[in-house]
Structure formats: structure tokens, C-alpha cells
Amino acid sequence: MNLKVFFRVIRIEQWVKNVFVLCPVLFGGRLFSLQHLWPAIVAMLCFSLAASAVYCYNDIMDLAYDRLHSLKKKRPLAAGEISARAVARIGLALCVLSLALTFVVSSSGTLCLVIAAYLLLNMLYSLWLKRIPVLDIACIAVGFVLRLVAGSVASAVELSHWIILMTFVLTSFIALAKRRGDVVYYNDTGILRRKNAARYSLQFIDVSLAMLAGAAIVFYMLYSIDVAVVSRLNFPYVYISGIFVIMGIMRFLQLTIDGNKAESPTHLVLTDHFLICCIAAFSIFFVFVIYFYTP
């Protein structure tokens, strides 16, 4: 097995999702504090390894379905470039390495418990929970909330209830948008690329996407005008950043519903220029307000 196949098996490009681990440090104003940032970076690496272990396990479990998928059939296992046994060994090694590395950050084992909870959640998801509509989306969202918890535990920066709510709603929105692609494909071809695609209707998904998009925007705007937030940041115009949030969500909705391009949200976020600009503008705004603005 060459290195290129290995990186494709562990889906290293998906590690970008684990920047959520750094959110407590970023929004807690500790980004330039090595004492807080370094443990969070190690925690992000732990989560990345654990996520790759989950991908290996999922590839084995979903092999038959992946071979029917227009994109997933190109994955090394589905394409026959590597054996299921080799993928299982890689997944086990990554799982052990991830759990062992947590003790570099937290000798108490708290971070290890968070990673273990993530692995257990995804094991149950692969075996059973992903067959239950709505609950499958919630499991994905909880996985991202656990990333926040990992960052908070590692860096000793307390989590805001706003960041937990917004992360859960926003990741539910993105996961449901991805599910929409499977439903559209099933409606067009009659082929199930995901086991529970037949349990969702396009109408339900579109209504739910609108609801979640609205909830994400409302939660963010409430956060931006919260007295405690404005006082902590000492900046009365946090709500201006809501422009980038609204535009970004609208663009993602457009690509999902009009273009049906949300099958790979990570690829979409990394390639769509409009989304990249929204995320960059939002990030620059907050970094300036938190770290450089002085009234």
C-alpha cells in the first residue's frame, strides 16, 4: 500500500472538520496563548485520528452501498485498491494512537473519555442509529459538539452555551443538506446509496433545512446582541458579523437546493469562492474584535 492510498483511506482532507476543536480557544480569546493553544492543537490531532478510525470502520460497513455511489465508489476500499482487513488494521491503529495521545494533554483521562464517547457514538451510529431518521442527523451534530468539548477540556477554556447551540444547529443543517443528495439520487434512479435515504422525503428535508437555517441565524443574532458577549468583547457592533453568517447560510442553501451540490460539504466549503469569502470575512472580523480592537 502506497502513501497516497493510505491518505485516501484515512480521508486526511476531512481533518479540516476538526478545527471545531479550536473554537473554544479562538472565541475565548486564548488563540495567542501557547499554554492554551498547544493542548487544543494536540486535542485536534487526537480527534482527527479518531475520525479517521471511524471512516475506516464505516468504509467496511458501507462497502456495498459505497460501490453504488457516484463519488464514494472511488474510495480505495470500494475501488478494490486495498483489502478490508488492511483498512480494519489501519482503523484499529488510529483508534489506539488517538486514545493514547490524549494523555499528553490530560493526565486525568478526561479528554480520553471524550474521544472514547465519540468513538462509541459513531460505532452505535454505524450499527444502528443511522437507520433512524432525524436521530441519524442528531448523532452527527453531537459528534461536532464533542469536538467543542474536547477543545474546552484540553485548553481549560469554558464553553459558551451559545457556541454549543449554534454548533448543534449548524452541523445538523449541513448533515441534512448532505442527506438531501442521497434522497434526490434515490428518487431519480431508485438506487439506495444510503440505507435510510428511502425514509426521508424531499419535502421534509427542504422544510427542515429552512427551519434549521432560520434557527442558526436566530441563535447567532441573539449571541451577537447578548449583553454578556458585548460586555466581554467590549464591542457593541458584534451583530455586524451576522451579515456574513446570513450570506453564507443562504449560499449553502442555494447550492444545496438549486445546484444539489451538498453531497460533500467539506469539498463545497473548500472550493466555492462565495462561501470561502464569507468564512474568511467572518473569521477576520472576529479575530480583529477579540484580539486587536481597543475602544
pLDDT tens digits, 161-211: 888 999 999 999 999 988 888 888 888 887 777 777 788 899 999 999 999
- Dihedral over Cα of 38, 101, 150, 91: its sign: positive
**Domain extents for the chain?**
1-159, 160-295
Is the pTM higher than 0.85? The answer reads yes
Average pLDDT for residues 76-97, to the nearest whole number? Answer: 92
Helix%, strand%, coil% for the chain, nearest 5: 80, 0, 20
Q: Do residues 24 and 43 touch, judged by C-beta distance below 8 A? A: no
Residue with cell 424531499: 202
What's the CATH architecture for 1-159? Orthogonal Bundle (1.10)
The C-alpha cell that represents 92 in the structure block = 484499529
Higher model confidence: residue 90 or residue 104?
90
Identify the pLDDT of residue 106.
Answer: 74
Identify the pLDDT of residue 191.
Answer: 76
Nearest to 14 by CA among 121, 144, 123: 144
Provide the pLDDT confidence category of residue 87 given band limits of 50, 70 and 90: very high
- Using CB atoms within 10 Å of the CB of residue 288, give its burial: 0 to 12 exposed, 13 to 18 middle, 19+ buried: exposed
Average pLDDT for residues 134-148, to the nearest whole number? Answer: 94
Tell me the pLDDT of the chain averaged across its residues.
89
pLDDT at 139 over 70: yes
